[in-house]
A and B are shown apart, each in its own frame.
Chain A
Amino acid sequence: MLRYIIRRLILIPFALILVVFLAYSYAHLVQWDYATRYGQLSYNLTVYQQRPQSLWVALGQYVQQLSRFDLGTLRNGEPIIGPLGRAFGASIGLLSIALALSAPIGILIGLLAAQWRRLRPAPWLTAVATGGLAMPSFYVGSLLILISVAYALWSKHNDGLPFPLAGFGWDLHLVFPTLALMVRPTVQIAQVTATLLTDELSKPYVTASRSMGHRKAIVKRKHAFRNVIAPVILTIAGSLRTLVTDLILVEWLFFWPGLGRFLASALIPVARTNMASSPYFLDPPFVAALLGTITSLFLIADFLASIIVRILDPRLRVPVAEEVAGV
């Protein structure tokens, strides 16, 4: 187990270095490509910042900078660590709340939809899942906005909208972004749980357990569910990947100043958004730091999931003998 953990841990920095290197190179090269088209950018790069045009020189400087634990500065002179830290906090908060809500809700729905001695889970779940999976997060978000507006227009209350439509805050501002983020992971988790559980419930040991007089609920929750918990947790960790994609859109929609919004403003040219000239656009250290942060989020989630799975599901633990043998 320990060896497994160490092996997984060693991989993380390598993957991180690769991503940071690729992201920096990408932003650097594309940035100079854009500089030939946008005078302001080229002026900024050459005159004010005097950034090197050669990738290798730039990478060298960047590595030196990183070795001093300095993530660099934005084009407007602000140290990257400030906005990045704030964005990380905002996104992690949103993500963990969304996951913390959608995992138990999804599992609960999955438990409810699992059927005894059938091929597939309850048909109502299929309907809910098909609908839920077809709903992009920004669509859920816009529906929520529509409902709010409709509520404000047609209700007799004059005390404004029930929830703020946009903005940042650890209060009611969280409601809409969280809801918009939750839909897909929730139905995904529910679907996986229900499908696996239905499959599990038709196995002989369940029949045996029932014949011994255990109640259905106990068998389902205690016996069968424990056997499917590992793939469910892997699904939860995997849904982080789709969540990050959704995070970009949801943060964009609700003006949530997190990693996703920064990522969009770092990668999409000003001409395509209505934002004022962004100091983030293709700024190599910023793009590298941003993608590095998101990657480490993935890697850590993957790592934690694989550890937790092994703790919860003894079948997955590598037997000591095999571990010694290096299998």
Chain B
Amino acid sequence: MSNIESISPQAPTKRPNWPLFIGLCLIIAIAILAVWGPTWAPKDPREQKLIVQIDGEWYTPPYRAFTPGYPLGSDNLGRDLYSWLLWSVRPTMALVLIVASLRMAIGVVLGVMAGWSDRLPGKIADGLIAAALSVPALIASIMVITAVGFHLGVWAFVLGLVATGWAETASLVRERTRTIRAQQAVEASIALGADSSQTFFLHIMPQVMPMVWMLLSFEVSNTLVTSAGLGFLGYYLGGAVFQEVDDFVYQRIADMPELGQMLATAWMVLDEPWAMVAAGTVVFIIVLAFNLLGEGLQNRLVRNLGGARSFYLIMAGSVIPWWDDHIRQPVGALVRKRAFQLGALLFVVITAYFGLKVFLKPDMPAELVESDAPTPTSAVAVTADTSVEGDVIANALPAPGGHYWANEFNDPWRTRVVDYTGPTTDTVQWTFETPLGFVGGPAIDKDGVLYIAARDQDAAEQDTGLLYAIDSTGSELWKVALPAKPVGVPALAIDGVLYVCDKQGVSAFDNEGSSLWRYDFEIGKSPAAGPVVSPDGDVYIKAFDGMWALNDAGEMLWHAPITDTATALAPSLSPDGAYVFWDNLAFRSTDGALADWTEDFYSPDTALSQILVGADGEIYRRYGEVLLSEAPVESDYQEALFFDGSVHTWGASDAGVTADGRPWLLARPAHGSAMGLGFYWGFSESTEELSGRFSVPQARNIHVLAVDQMLTAYVCMDSYSADSQCVAIGPEGLTAKLRYRLRGVRALAGAALAPGSLYVATRDGTLMAIGDDADVIAQRGEPPEEDNTVAVLSAWDAPVYPGGHYWSHEKGDPWGTRWAAYDGPADAQVLWAMENGAEYTAAPVVAADGTIYASSTDSRLLAYAPDGSLKWSARLIVPGVGSPAIGPDGTIYITDEGGYLLAFDANGEQKWVYHASGEIVEEHYNQSTGDLVREEVYIAETLRPAGSGPMVAPDGTVYFTLAVQVRTYAGGVTVRSEVLQAVTQNGVGIYDAPPFIWDGRQTLRLSANNTWLVLHDHSLMPRMEIEPSGKLLRSLWDIQEAFYADEEHEDMTLLMVTGADGGVYQAYKRTVEEFVLGEDGVDTQFVYEWDAEASPGTLVEVGATHDGHIWMFFRNGSTAWVSPDGTLIGPVRFPLESMLFGLDRGNVAYGCGSSMGKASECMAYSPGLDEPLWHVTLQEGEKVAGGALAPGVVYVTTEQGRLYALGTP
């Protein structure tokens, strides 16, 4: 802007003002581009095209400039740069104009202030200008944006770019104001008695105002240069993800066209600078245009200073006197003083409002899709003959031949609906490895045999293939070699003949692996996807040059060219077999003639996206996110509207309809991250409502695998940032029913669903069978859909923890019974006391071999032999939290303060470490409408443990909780929120996005039938039942509602526990009840009710022993038993501040505590005896941290770092 300083005060010349003229022309062009550019974009800027054919040659992205259809080339995903560029001017210019206007307003106000006032305001303004000038705008912007965080979106940029950017304008305005103030006219005006504001408006402003437009245009170009620099460094509007394109090579993929982003994305590939040069040129032209405009305005300014009256001056001269007399005087002194500030404010508000309107829909909704809509041609009515005859029945289109999975999409119609249920667990039953990787998923015949194609290499290192037949237990039956690299998924014909495509042709095999025939394609016309076999045996193959039809003898029937694209998408058939559908094309199956179904648009904006067949036997047309059940008449599609998903989604890529007419959609969430992909269930009754949705933030290659009998959709996907996974989504669920997280897998080849099993093949060569044991599958008939309250109770039995461990958890076992199936010490003294040096914070645990494990605050996990000798100590990075827990196999688990879960074997070797990763999204719904109100995202890596140790279920799954955050409610009540984590015994996370977040501190316990209970010792949310999948089954409130629907129940349940007898008990203030299974279902039965006077105080813990004795432990240390016949035994007293460790086989209660500062005492009370069996006084000053019960011994840890063994010598 240095050229402004060189204003020459000499007489004007008559030259035409070229800079002004050129600048204005360019700016008009830019404005047109910003407003209409997106509508001119020939393609959807986000549409990816991974291969194109030009003159018979195939090209992969990035396409060079001048590639046909890609005038400026493309990025690495094949997205058209020209379209991207046309889209990108608008958001960038909006941001720049907002920032420039704000800078301008601040600069003019502060500049005038600094130049006009000699008093404090002027000095402050002076100081601010000097300070802001000293920091380069780019550095200041980066620092501000980093500090406020770019999650603020556009506001972070506005803040950052405005932060010090106004300074130059301010200093120029200040100089100008000072110059004007020194003019004689001003002096004269003051001498004539004009007040300050009159002088200001009649003399200062007329001379400052002409500068404003010039300054604004320079400001725009300055802002653009800075924001382009920011973008170049990675700070730009919109989000982006990094995709791994090669080992350790990541590529940035942005989701919003913006100039800065284009610069950022492009520069990483230095030898392909097209994108950057293109974006840079646009930046250059815009900067140039505004610089020219500024210069032109400056030239004008210089000329007008000589004598010509500026518009403002003319206006001021004629309007201001009138204004003074008629408006200004009446309005009053207050407004007069603030008029300029108000004007500036108004200017900013208006500019910001219009500018921000552009950002209100940053996700670019459906208008994007309008791009390459072909013109309608002839109107051929083809719908009439495509509907199935007869009534629509449940799954009208099962896979032919009784096969479980006949091709890539289960059936030739691509319905993906199956007549069985998938797995209910995520156990990996077996894996099968191939060295070079699979190319697609398996096909499964009616005997459950899997056929899958894999890559191979011959001796000359040429790509060849292998076709495996694998039985349902994972053993290889046979394999045959294929002559070239296989393509897609094999397909099964109705008679069991197997077809498999490779790069050179297609082969037919019988189910023994003997070749029947082979058809070779010409070079360059090789198959692009797996085959599809019609029920009458014809084979359809999508090759790179078009669609091919072969008969069952391997003779070509017809070939239909598809010219412009080559997606690896297999074709599908119409229900009656009359048509072959591919993408939005329909070929007649008899001769391959293209039936033009694209003629019917339901709106001028949207072209037919897909022709699909529902499991109800109907044909649907998908236009973007809208499903129509038949061809619309003219432009009126309402008649034909089946489902409209455009309210909640955009960018749909696939859809389907179940047998009962329920639609589903694979699309992007309308309000989420643009890189997110979601699965959406519709209702069969509604055309717009969603019954379920499930979205994953950074998914790619997502595809719907299958929809099973229970309307569970199995969706598999890779991720930009995490492992691949398959998810089972129920029809109403907002969360996954099950998640099959594929540890270490980054690219799926394919998957298939068989009864009770999910088969997943990966590109690096592993085939996994996930699901239930074979006998479980065999037993499973109709899935039970009974009242699960009853089911829960009837399944109860006395819990037994496998592995024979004595005291595997803090409370003895994962059910928290505190009961031991052996006798404790009948008489005790200190057998040994081991000093550790650092305090223990929780109870020890005792394994089957008698080893005692405890964690201490000096970050160690200690293992002591029963004789008190230290077996080993393992170093943790940070101190452990809570008690360790012992798994059925003897693995010791511990959570640490870093939020890690660590697993050690019995020798102290660390087996693995687990930490939650990724994002945990908490969705808040409006209670009345059910709408998603907001989402909170937590980075799992930052979460801390919730304060208790892990819990290990009998199946070896480890559960622990993480604290999410502390919420502060009205009145200053702070509550911590927690999430549940589940990890397999091999250290694999089960739900990386935990299904729900609860408030309050919970300790994990298990119900007797291994339905998860989350129990709280106090009242906030006493009980939640969670399925192993992590889904919330119900909370206490639901349970109470179910049980007490007919009666008022005033007391709030304090405790709800599982007893060692398998019963479930709940306790109120003075009442203990047991749930019993009555004739009418579940009922409660009083166990004991205390009189108000006789009650020893507040109940802290309740439990039941194996023989049905109920025990109660009170806050003041009182302990009482209730025998099965209802007689109260006790109470007896432990010291005032006590802990009850547990009860043994004889119902003897063991505990320790101290009263009023005395030394801690440990004692044992036998039911019926008022005096303790024994009592041992610990060393002075010791405070008990916890205890564990082993046969004949009680182990006690103290906060002073001692581990005591108390028992009979």
Question: Residues on A close to B: CB < 8 A?
Answer: 26, 29-30, 33, 36-40, 42-43, 47, 119-120, 126, 129-131, 133-136, 138-139, 142-143, 145-146, 149, 165-166, 188, 191-192, 195-196, 199, 235, 241-242, 244-245, 248-249, 252-253, 263-264, 267-269, 272-274, 282, 298
- A13 CB, nearest partner CB in chain B, Å: 16
Instruction: Find residues 1138-1175 in chain B having any chain A CB closer than 8 Å to their own CB.
Output: none
Q: Are the CB atoms of B139 and A245 closer together than 8 Å?
A: yes
26 interchain pairs, CB-CB under 8 A: A26-B147, A30-B146, A30-B147, A33-B149, A38-B941, A119-B13, A120-B8, A130-B291, A130-B292, A136-B225, A136-B229, A136-B284, A138-B229, A138-B263, A138-B280, A142-B273, A145-B273, A149-B272, A188-B2, A191-B2, A199-B8, A248-B139, A264-B142, A267-B139, A268-B235, A274-B252
Q: Mark B131-157, 1 if CB is under 8 A from A, else 0.
A: 000101111001100110110000000
Q: Beyond A30-B147, A245-B136, A274-B252, is A38–B942 a contact (Cβ under 8 Å)?
A: yes
- A145 CB, nearest partner CB in chain B, Å: 5
Q: Which residue of A lies closest to B280 (CB)?
A: A139
- B258 CB, nearest partner CB in chain A, Å: 14
Q: Are the CB atoms of A264 and B233 closer together than 8 Å?
A: yes
Question: Residues on B close to A: CB < 8 A?
Answer: 2-3, 6, 8, 10, 13, 19, 134, 136-139, 142-143, 146-147, 149-150, 221, 225, 228-229, 232-235, 242, 250, 252, 263, 267-268, 270-274, 276-277, 280-281, 283-284, 287-288, 291-292, 295, 877-878, 898-899, 915, 939-943
Please give, as numbers and ranges, the residues of chain A lying within 8 Å of B273 by CB-CB distance: 142, 145-146, 149
- B747 CB, nearest partner CB in chain A, Å: 20
- A147 CB, nearest partner CB in chain B, Å: 9
Q: Are the CB atoms of A26 and B143 closer together than 8 Å?
A: yes
Q: Are the CB atoms of B942 and A136 closer together than 8 Å?
A: no
Q: Which residue of B lies closest to A241 (CB)?
A: B136
Q: Beyond A130-B19, A136-B284, A142-B277, is A191–B942 a contact (Cβ under 8 Å)?
A: no
Q: Are the CB atoms of B271 and A149 closer together than 8 Å?
A: yes
B137, B915, B941: the one contacting A245 at CB < 8 Å is B137
A40, A131, A142, A149: the one contacting B288 at CB < 8 Å is A131
Q: Are the CB atoms of A272 and B235 closer together than 8 Å?
A: yes
Tell me, in angstroms, the Cα distance from A30 to B1031 when the chains sit together: 37
Please give, as numbers and ranges, the residues of chain B lying within 8 Å of A139 by CB-CB distance: 277, 280-281, 283-284
Tell me, in angstroms, the Cα distance from A149 to B73 when the chains sit together: 15
Tell me, in angstroms, the Cα distance from A314 to B915 when the chains sit together: 71
Q: Are the CB atoms of A165 and B291 closer together than 8 Å?
A: no
Please give, as numbers and ranges, the residues of chain A lying within 8 Å of B147 by CB-CB distance: 26, 29-30, 33
Tell me, in angstroms, the Cα distance from A138 to B276 when the chains sit together: 9
Q: Are the CB atoms of B146 and A165 closer together than 8 Å?
A: no
New A-B pairs, 10, CB < 8 Å, besides A136-B225, A244-B136, A272-B150? A30-B147, A39-B942, A42-B942, A134-B291, A149-B271, A149-B272, A244-B139, A245-B229, A264-B142, A273-B234
Q: Are the CB atoms of A252 and B8 closer together than 8 Å?
A: no
Q: Are the CB atoms of B233 and A274 closer together than 8 Å?
A: no
Tell me, in angstroms, the Cα distance from A26 to B276 when the chains sit together: 33
Q: Which residue of B lies closest to A37 (CB)?
A: B939
Tell me, in angstroms, the Cα distance from A42 to B143 when the chains sit together: 20
Closest CB pairs A-B (n = 8): A39-B941, A139-B280, A272-B234, A134-B288, A134-B287, A39-B942, A142-B276, A195-B6
Please give, as numbers and ranges, the residues of chain A lying within 8 Å of B267 by CB-CB distance: 138, 142, 253
Tell me, in angstroms, the Cα distance from A26 to B139 when the chains sit together: 13
Please give, as numbers and ranges, the residues of chain A lying within 8 Å of B877 by CB-CB distance: 47
Please give, as numbers and ranges, the residues of chain B lying within 8 Å of A130 by CB-CB distance: 19, 288, 291-292, 295
Q: Which residue of B lies closest to A35 (CB)?
A: B942
Please give, as numbers and ranges, the residues of chain A lying within 8 Å of B272 by CB-CB distance: 149
Please give, as numbers and ranges, the residues of chain A lying within 8 Å of B940 by CB-CB distance: 39
Q: Are the CB atoms of A39 and B235 closer together than 8 Å?
A: no
A120, A143, A252: the one contacting B277 at CB < 8 Å is A143
B150, B235, B242, B878: the one contacting A47 at CB < 8 Å is B878
Q: Are the CB atoms of A249 and B288 closer together than 8 Å?
A: no
Please give, as numbers and ranges, the residues of chain B lying within 8 Å of A142 by CB-CB distance: 267, 273, 276-277, 280
Q: Are the CB atoms of B221 and A143 closer together than 8 Å?
A: no
Please give, as numbers and ranges, the residues of chain A lying within 8 Å of B142 by CB-CB distance: 264, 267-268
Q: Beyond A130-B288, A138-B263, is A248–B233 a contact (Cβ under 8 Å)?
A: yes
- B203 CB, nearest partner CB in chain A, Å: 27
Q: Are the CB atoms of B270 and A134 closer together than 8 Å?
A: no
Please give, as numbers and ranges, the residues of chain A lying within 8 Å of B8 by CB-CB distance: 119-120, 199
Q: Which residue of B lies closest to A144 (CB)?
A: B273
Tell me, in angstroms, the Cα distance from A136 to B941 when the chains sit together: 39
Tell me, in angstroms, the Cα distance from A166 to B269 when the chains sit together: 11
Please give, as numbers and ranges, the residues of chain B lying within 8 Å of A120 by CB-CB distance: 8
Q: Beyond A130-B295, A139-B280, A142-B276, is A235–B2 a contact (Cβ under 8 Å)?
A: yes
B3, B250, B252, B939: the one contacting A129 at CB < 8 Å is B3
Q: Which residue of A lies closest to B268 (CB)?
A: A274
Tell me, in angstroms, the Cα distance from A26 to B142 when the chains sit together: 12
Q: Which residue of A lies closest to B221 (CB)?
A: A134
B263, B274, B291: the one contacting A133 at CB < 8 Å is B291
Q: Are the CB atoms of A269 and B146 closer together than 8 Å?
A: yes
